[in-house]
Amino acid sequence: MAVRLPTVAIGLAATTLLAAASASFAGAAVDDPRCPQQAPADAGRRSPSVDQPPFEPTPCEPTALPAVRPGTTPDAEALPDRWRIASMLGGRRNLLDPYHGDNWLKGDRPAFGDDWFVNLSAVSDTVMEPRRFATPVGVAVTQDPGSLDLIGHGDQVVYAESLAVEAVLYKGDTVFKPPEYEFRFAPVFSYNVVDASERGVLDANPEAPATRREGMVGIQALYADKHLRNVSARYDFDSLRVGVQPFTADFRGFLFEDSALGARLFGNRHNNRFQYNLAWFRRLRKDTSTGLNNLLAGGGVVRDDDVLIGNLYAQDFPRPGFTSELVVTYNRNREGGEQVYDDHGVLQRPAPVGTEQGRDYQVTYVGYNGDGHIGRLNLSASAYGVFGSESHGVFVAASDQVRAFFLAAEGSRDFDWARLRVSTLYASGDRDPFDQRATGFDAIYENPLFAGADTSFWIRQPVPLIGGGRVSLSGRNGILNSLRPSKEFGQSNFTNPGLVLLGVGADFDLTPALRAAANINGLWFADTASVEAARNQGSVDRNIGVDVSGAVTWRPLAIQNFVLRLSAAVLVPGAGYKALFGNELQYSVLANAVLTY
């Protein structure tokens, strides 16, 4: 024994030194109370028949959380609300800085009470737009005494500045569930300057100058939203929204995309796989220059034009990654007895085309829309049929039966940093304007995101039908040849030439902050009978022309809060366009800057 005791003591000392050295190498002493990650008491003493991984000491990190033992849960205290996390992270509080710290103006923490939040945002949209489209000479006065023909100088320059402010007040913890109450107010402050080359274009009064300066305030949202109930543990819900509110009937804005007065019941089911809307809207008076809601005009703000919409979205139907929508829309218009001029003195109702008589109509749209991907193919498709009646035809005094249809599809495929697109659209035209059957398709209030959208000349610019009434072939931010004075004031017109479009395009993500796009669209009338009747001109060719456009979008900070865009488009006239307007090349250049807070 006298020999063994020193040996045991030496062994124990060596073990202690090795443990201390290991702990020192890990960054702390083994007896540091902040390092509880030691070997379990039963390490090495469990039954050999029990499979267990060998114990490996964890390097000591005094500031790290303890390792979680198998079969246990972390010893963490739950926070009662989400905004305390931002407070714990620290950072300065600056109301003008929405990205750092916790800003109550951006909903990072309650503005008052326990769960009343405010979200304030502002968007500045600046536009500079030189353009040229077919323009009639002044009725009584022209800028150029040598202009003796119907077609005058179509050059114009537009400068527009819009500041959209949105204030939202809502109640409720909105991490997983909808707010219990929501109140939203969104005014838009707009100022624009338009310089034209002809008098009588910007205003019906030929004595008015050829340069127009205007400012106005539009109310694009003013509503209250009440969360009615939750119908599942995963917060499937029903809600009711009442007031002036934006609404889009389909994915691409083909049928109805407007901000109107109405009531909307909406919600979802089956873990948000199905969404539905049941809505009634009454359309509002618009500002002529900007298309914003002109609620401050006084008198006649609400139109006698009702829109009832019911739609159902089904995600992952008929296959995963693709969403289908069924929509039924009823439009009842009772404005046939009105005579309405816009802010510039131009007759809008009844439309100054054909017999120029007022009319009422009631029509029903039934449609299917799909959007998503099938394998590597991205696909968006729409199909609508419309049927109903109108009290008077556009070219006949008797009533018309409305029967028309619309088809559109856009397919694309991604190749690394490039996306190639193919677009096709068919809107039926009226073959005989005098047969008491209106077969030209028209929407309620379109704003299409399709075939290049507002980069396209045909979609962005209005093309007036000179010499056939003060109406347009295609309206501003519209794709259909509707022969309406405007979509903001005019009624739907189902006696129109329709449209055929075939287009190709591509998007190129050159860098994370720089994108380029190009589009080429061929345009044709579906049928020219209604145009020939309006112009009292025979044998108008169906070929409208080729719309060529391109755009560059730059996000200097690689975020959506600062976006610069420059686009250009030309319309190369076809035989049909030349027969109506001559062979002058039409163009549009758009410089756009968007800043968001």
pLDDT of residue 166: 96
In terms of C-beta density within 10 A (0-12 exposed, 13-18 middle, 19 or more buried), how is residue 267 classed?
buried
User: Rounded mean pLDDT of 65-87?
Assistant: 61
Output the pLDDT for position 470. 81
3-state helix, strand, coil in the chain (%, to 5): 10, 45, 45
Longest dimension (CA), the chain: 131
Q: Are strands 400-415 and 437-438 parallel, antiparallel or unpaired?
A: parallel
Q: What is the mean pLDDT of residues 36-46?
A: 48
Minimum mean pLDDT among 173-177, 257-261, 541-545: which range?
Answer: 173-177
In a domain, 54, yes or no: no
Asked whether residue 423 is domain-assigned, the answer is: yes
435 located within any domain: yes
pLDDT, tens only, 273-319: 999 999 999 999 999 999 999 988 766 799 999 999 999 999 999 99
Flag the least confident range among 170-184, 385-399, 420-434: 170-184
Task: Flag whether 263 is in a domain.
Answer: yes
**Range ranked top by mean pLDDT from 95-109, 118-132, 453-467:** 118-132
Residues 125 and 7 in one domain: no
Tell whether 281 and 422 lie within a shared domain.
yes
What's 171's domain CATH number? 2.40.160.100
For the ranges 36-40, 283-287, 544-548, which has the lowest average pLDDT? Answer: 36-40
560-576 residue pLDDT tens: 999 999 999 999 999 99
> What letter does residue 91 receive in the DSSP assignment?
-
What pLDDT is attached to residue 405? 98
Residues in Cβ contact with 533 at an 8 Å cutoff, skipping those fewer than 6 apart: 354, 395, 433, 434
Q: Is residue 99 part of a domain?
A: no
Contact 131, 588 (CB under 8 A): yes
Residue 545: which region, alpha, beta or left (left: phi > 0; alpha: psi -120 to 50)?
left
pLDDT at site 203: 82
Nearest to 154 by CA among 166, 164, 142: 142
Residue 44's pLDDT is what? 46
Instruction: Write down the pLDDT at residue 234.
Output: 87
Average pLDDT over residues 415-423: 96
Tell whether the model's pLDDT for residue 150 goes beyond 90: no
Measured CA angle at 433 (ends 431, 436), to 5 deg: 105
> 362 by DSSP, 3-state: which?
strand
pLDDT score of 59 more than 70: no
Confidence of residue 18 (pLDDT cuts 50, 70, 90): very low
Shared-domain flag, residues 484 and 575: yes
Give the distance from CA 140 to its chain's centroid: 42
pLDDT per position as a tens digit, 524-537: 999 999 999 998 88
**Mean pLDDT of the region 46-73:** 56
16 has pLDDT over 50:
no
Query: Dihedral sign, CA of 474, 478, 480, 486?
Result: negative
Judge if 28 and 124 occupy the same domain: no
Q: Domain for residue 61, yes or no?
A: no
pTM of the model: 0.84
Which among 163, 165, 83, 162 is positioned nearest to 120, based on CA atoms? 165
Model confidence at 176: pLDDT above 80: no
Confirm whether 81 is domain-assigned. Answer: no
Q: Residue 188: which pLDDT band, with cuts at 50, 70 and 90?
A: very high
Let me know whether 127 and 27 are in one domain. Answer: no
Indicate the average pLDDT of the chain.
85
Residue 42's pLDDT band (boundaries 50, 70, 90)?
A: very low
Residues 398 and 508 both lie in one domain: yes
Of the listed ranges 190-194, 204-208, 586-590, the least confidently predicted one is 204-208
Tell me what the mean pLDDT of segment 498-510 comes to. 97
Residue 104 is predicted with a pLDDT of 82
Q: Residue 401: beta bridge partners?
A: 389, 437
Say yes or no to pLDDT of 19 above 70. Answer: no
Nearest to 196 by CA among 148, 137, 147: 137
* Contact status, residue 308 vs residue 280, Cβ threshold 8 Å: yes
Count Cα neighbours of 488 within 13 Å in the Cβ-side half-sphere. 20
Using CA atoms, how far apart are residues 165 and 189, in angstroms rounded to an integer?
8
Which range marks the domain in which residue 7 is found?
1-33
Distance CA 350, CA 348 (A): 6
- Place 70 in a pLDDT band, splitting at 50, 70 and 90: low
Predicted confidence at residue 61, as pLDDT, reads 61
Q: How far is CA 192 from CA 71, 160, 197, 290, 489, in A?
A: 67, 4, 17, 8, 20
Least confident of 139-143, 248-252, 345-349: 139-143
Q: What would the mean pLDDT of 29-44 be, rounded to a whole number?
A: 48
Q: What are phi and psi of 47, to 5 degrees?
A: -60, 135
Compute the average pLDDT of residues 488-515: 96
Q: Domain total for the chain?
A: 2
State whether 378 and 510 are in the same domain.
Answer: yes
Same domain, 15 and 154: no
Residue 309 domain flag: yes
DSSP-derived secondary structure letter, 98: S
My answer on whether 24 and 148 are in the same domain is: no
What value does the mean pLDDT take over residues 465-483? Answer: 86
Q: What is the mean predicted confidence (pLDDT) over 404-410?
A: 98
Model confidence at 366, pLDDT cuts 50, 70, 90, reads: very high
Examine the domain organization and report whether 392 and 498 are in the same domain: yes
Model confidence at 77: pLDDT above 70: no
Distance CA 386, CA 365 (A): 4
Query: Which candidate, 475, 467, 395, 397, places its Cα nearest to that of 442?
Result: 475
Of residues 14 and 370, the one with the higher pLDDT is 370
Looking at the predicted structure, is the pLDDT value of residue 515 above 60? yes
Q: What three-state secondary structure class fits 286? A: strand
Specify whether the CB–CB gap between 525 and 498 falls below 8 A: yes
**Is the sign of the CA dihedral 247, 250, 254, 255 positive or negative?**
negative
The pLDDT value recorded for residue 52 is 53
Residue 27 sits in the same domain as residue 120: no
Q: Which residues contact 16 (CB under 8 A, 6 or more apart)?
A: none
Task: Tell whether 27 and 136 lie within a shared domain.
Answer: no
**Measured between alpha carbons, how far is 578 from 474 in angstroms, rounded to an integer?**
16
DSSP 365-425: EEEEEEEEEETTEEEEEEEEEEEEEESS-SS-SS-EEEEEEEEEEEEEEEETTEEEEEEEE
